[in-house]
Amino acid sequence: MPAKLLKGAEVAKEIREELKCEVDFLKNKHGVVPGLVTLLVGQNPASQSYVRAKQKTGHELGFFSVQDDQPENLGEEELLKLIDKYNKDPKIHGILVQLPLPKGINENRVLLAIDPAKDVDAFHPVNVGKLMIGEPDYLPCTPAGIQELLVRSGAEICGAEVTVVGRSNIVGKPIAMMLMQKAKGANATVTVCHTRTRDVKLHTSRADILVVAAGVTEYVKGDMIKPGAVVIDVGVNEVGKTADGKRILKGDVAFEEAVEVAGAITPVPGGVGPMTITMLMKNTVRACKVWNRIKD
Ligand code: GUN
């Protein structure tokens, strides 16, 4: 029997409806509007498309949503000044600097400049550290989306063997950290594979839950998956365009093979992507409440 599809797009819609009610309540009861700025430096087409989607969702939820496009040749010091401006802006509660940044800009220095209270990506070392000790203020968006999807789909995470393929700061490392925590929706035994792992298949094929964020199109084949496993495909790889110019996307998992082996699997598109954006919105609502000292 083919795997159950974990349709992130549907779960994301449900959560966004809940968030919309919360935004309306904040407006009507407290007179505050969550504010989000997305800063994009340069014209990377994939980044442009991600940022557009984030802005669109922010607008739909009734946020004060600002898109700040900057040229490729923006200097690091200028970018730091912009961040400082948004750190001080009372209408802005969340600051997102879209990654990757152009060559020549020190990404860590930029992330360090964002006020941790406005760091809705949870990339600032303070937020990374808080996550590590199990006391996060904000969860990083893609890992939070994955965890939410796993929990809502009824996957047994406690005690599960989880294998994560990929060790990025955005997905691999934080999802491993989150799923190994002594916490609800976690308590898994986590293995992380990366480019120097000797035998990736050895680890993927014993995983009850397999999270793939390798950045390589269809890297995980059907024969690398344990029958019945839950497979989370984080990859978004453009492999061409349709006749009318739409992007054709494939994940990091060979879907046609995997769907015959796995118990459940996220599609690409419509799986993890919409969950990531929704978690960003959730973090921004939280940042707005913290800024305005409004209790949950
Ligand atoms: N680039 C790819 N994913 C992300 C993300 O979640 N946040 C930011 N800021 N940049 C990204």
Question: Do 34 and 23 meet the contact criterion of CB atoms below 8 Å apart?
Answer: yes
**Positions marked catalytic:** 54, 98, 121
Cβ(68)–Cβ(82) below 8 Å: yes
Please give the Cα distance from 268 to 251 (Å, whole number): 6
Check whether 133 has a pLDDT greater than 90: yes
**Candidates 51, 68, 99, 234: which one to mutate for ligand 1, based on the most atoms within 8 Å of Cβ?**
99
- How confident is the model at residue 296, as a pLDDT? 84
- pLDDT tens, position by position, 39-65: 999 999 999 999 999 999 999 999 999
- Tell whether ligand 1 has an atom less than 6 A from the beta carbon of residue 96: yes
Q: In this predicted structure, what is the pLDDT of residue 145?
A: 98
Mean pLDDT of 154-181: 98
Q: What percent of the chain has pLDDT over 70?
A: 100
CB 67 within 8 A of CB 55: yes
**Contact criterion met (CB below 8 Å) for 234 and 252:** yes
Domains of the chain: 30-121 (3.40.50.10860), 141-273 (3.40.50.720)
In this structure, the residue with its CA closest to atom 1 of ligand 1 is 99
Question: Confidence class of residue 118 from pLDDT cuts 50, 70 and 90?
Answer: very high
CA-nearest of 64, 11, 12 to 277 is: 12
Closest CA to 84 of 101, 105, 109: 109
CA–centroid distance, 261 to ligand 1, in Å, is: 30
Ligand 1 neighbour 121 (Cβ under 6 A) = yes
Gap from CA of 228 to ligand 1 centroid (Å): 31
145 φ/ψ sector (left φ>0, alpha ψ -120 to 50, else beta): alpha
Q: Does ligand 1 have an atom closer than 6 angstroms to the CB of 98?
A: yes
pLDDT in tens, 57-115: 999 999 999 999 999 999 999 999 999 999 999 999 999 999 999 999 999 999 999 99
What's the 65 CA to ligand 1 centre distance in angstroms?
17
Ligand 1, atom 4: nearest CA belongs to which residue?
A: 99
- For ligand 1, whether the C-beta of 141 sits within 6 Å is yes
